[in-house]
Amino acid sequence: MKQLQITRPDDWHVHLRDNDMLNHVAPFTAQQFARAIVMPNLQPPVTTVKLAVEYVDRIINAVNNDRFEPLMTLYLTDDTSAEEIILAEKSCFVKALKLYPAGATTNSSAGVTDIRKCDAALAAMEETGLPLLVHGEVTAPEVDVFDREKVFIDQVLMPLMNRFPKLKIVFEHITTADAVEFVLNTGLNIGATITPQHLLLNRNAIFKGGLRPHNYCLPVLKREQHRQALLHAATSGHRKFFLGTDSAPHTRDNKESGCGCAGIFSAHAAIEMYATAFEQQNALDKLEAFASFNGPDFYGLSRNTETVTLERTPWVIPDDYPLASGETLVPMMAGETINWKLIQ
Ligand code: DOR
Ligand code: ZN
């Protein structure tokens, strides 16, 4: 039986939510990963260090796992002050700020309306070294949904990078060949995360035999040529690309709806899905760099010392997971067989 041992991975982009959902999903992430960068798009959003302190306590209670370390982010708004950035940097447990362009995705209405309004905060981040995590899509309704990432690079990211050349930026959940090229052509202060769904699926998966709301996320899945570019980047071993699941749970009812929420839950089998993608590229030897080394190196944190073992043992992913409210959560690859299993 084939086994693969790697340094315990970290998830550099996850949504753990709050309340009942938090209690149900956080243990999945803690079981696989040593650390996770936790997104702040709660309602209301986590905009201050004080709110992050309270949220991190709720996460620690929910996971009940001493080994797991949540790394917190603050939600950037038009009003985020330089003082809040300094507090965040001093806190040691807040590791980044998250930029949601207002209206881009779930709970982003309090997001940034014009990035130039954030200049004071961005200058403080450049100074302190606190990274900016970017949801890289423009929101203008006239821009085609499949072009929003590329237009964001040209209209927002390039000018931002030129105005703050030393700012550390993580281009989150990249989905296009354009984003890969952009990241490769910039300095070492620019990195990117890649999700399992953007490595394993192209946009046909949203329409296979009918409308598939559980394959709908933002940025939306793209053409096969873009998936190939992402696979190539992730499996290249290049230090700028690292694991970020963007696991984003919504109840079944909120997904299977006349106006369904964006988000794919992948925390139940995240490292297994990445292993599947890397195996398809004959690149399992590059999984550890992507999953366990490149992320901490980018953030300036130490690499984990513990290891985990994956075994090539097929298992069937459940159709759904129960939530306390009688609701259910439909995971990525529900009902499908996956060939890898994390055994410890
Ligand atoms: O699909 C997504 N879901 N993309 C995001 O950017 C947000 C996330 C969520 O919070 O549900
Ligand atoms: Zn996200």
Q: Mind listing the pLDDT tens digit for each residue in 56-109?
A: 999 999 999 999 999 999 999 999 999 999 999 999 999 999 999 998 887 888
Ligand 1 is surrounded, with C-beta below 6 A, by: 15, 41, 105-106, 135, 217-218, 248, 262-263
The reply to whether 329 falls in a domain is no
Q: Dump pLDDT digits (tens) for 107-147.
A: 888 899 999 999 999 999 999 999 999 999 999 999 999 99
User: Residues with catalytic annotation?
Assistant: 246
Number of the ligand closest to the Cα of 104: 1
The reply to whether 171 falls in a domain is yes
Mean pLDDT, rounded, for 167-181: 98
| Among 218, 265, 332, residue to substitute to test ligand 1 (most atoms within 8 Å of Cβ) | 218
Question: Scanning the structure block, which residue is given the tokens 């071993």?
Answer: 237
Strands 11-14 and 321-322 come out as: unpaired
Q: What is the CATH number of the domain that holds 294?
A: 3.20.20.140
Number of domains, the chain: 1
Q: Dump pLDDT digits (tens) for 228-262.
A: 999 999 999 999 999 999 999 999 999 999 999 99
DSSP output for 40-79:
---SS---SHHHHHHHHHHHHHHH--TT-EEEEEEE--TT
User: Residue of the nearest CA to atom 10 in ligand 1?
Assistant: 106
Q: How remote is the C-alpha of 307 from its chain's centroid?
A: 22
How far apart are the C-alpha atoms of 94 and 100, rounded to whole Å? 17
Percent residues over pLDDT 70 in the chain: 100
User: Residue of the nearest CA to atom 7 in ligand 1?
Assistant: 106
The reply to whether 27 falls in a domain is yes
Residue type, 120: A
Token output for 157: 């990211």
The reply to whether 70 falls in a domain is yes
Question: Scanning the structure block, which residue is given the tokens 């940097």?
Answer: 89
Beta bridge partners of 321: 329
How big, in percent rounded to 5, are the helix, strand and coil portions of the chain? 40, 20, 40
| Among 108, 138, 261, residue to substitute to test ligand 1 (most atoms within 8 Å of Cβ) | 261
Cα of 1 to ligand 2 centre, how many Å? 35
Token output for 139: 């929101």
The reply to whether 48 falls in a domain is yes
How far apart are the C-alpha atoms of 138 and 122, rounded to whole Å? 19
Nearest ligand 1 atom, CA 172: 6
Which residues span the domain enclosing 106? 11-303
**Contact by Cβ (8 Å): 163, 200:** no
